[in-house]
Amino acid sequence: MARKLDYRWHLRQVMAERGMFATTDLIDPLAARGIRLSSSQVYRLVVERPERLSLKILMALLDILDASMGELIEPVAAGGHARKRAAASGTDASIGELRPRRARIIPAGK
């Protein structure tokens, strides 16, 4: 019997590594490449794991992020429900480390 394969979508992590923390950061670069997506479409593309994705959009993302296919899409063997849920959310536990730290304001005189 053939082994079932799944994948993990790392767009949010790759964006964070490139200093792009807002989903809307992709709208203008995509438009410059002839791909017009609404902010909600871009949000879903970044936050959720896409089930269908045009090759034109995939190639544009690779170009914008100067990334390889392997950085965005990680093939994995289909496993338990916990793995599927984490993969479906498109998040990784290490993403929190890539977010900028919030500035602390210290009142004068302290």
DSSP 80-106: -HHHHHHHHHT--GGGGGGSPPPPPP-
**pLDDT the model gives residue 2:** 73
Q: Which residues of the chain have pLDDT under 50?
A: 81-85
What does the alpha-carbon distance between residue 28 and residue 32 come to, in Å, rounded to a whole number? 6
Q: Which amino acid, 84?
A: K
pLDDT confidence of residue 81: 47
User: What pLDDT is stored for residue 83 in this prediction?
Assistant: 47
What's the pLDDT at 93?
Answer: 56
pTM of the model: 0.68
The predicted pLDDT at position 84 comes to 47
Where does 2-75 have alpha helices with state H?
11-17, 27-32, 39-47, 55-65, 69-72
Give every CB contact of residue 106 below 8 A, 6+ residues apart in sequence. none
CA dist., res. 7 & res. 19, Å (int): 24
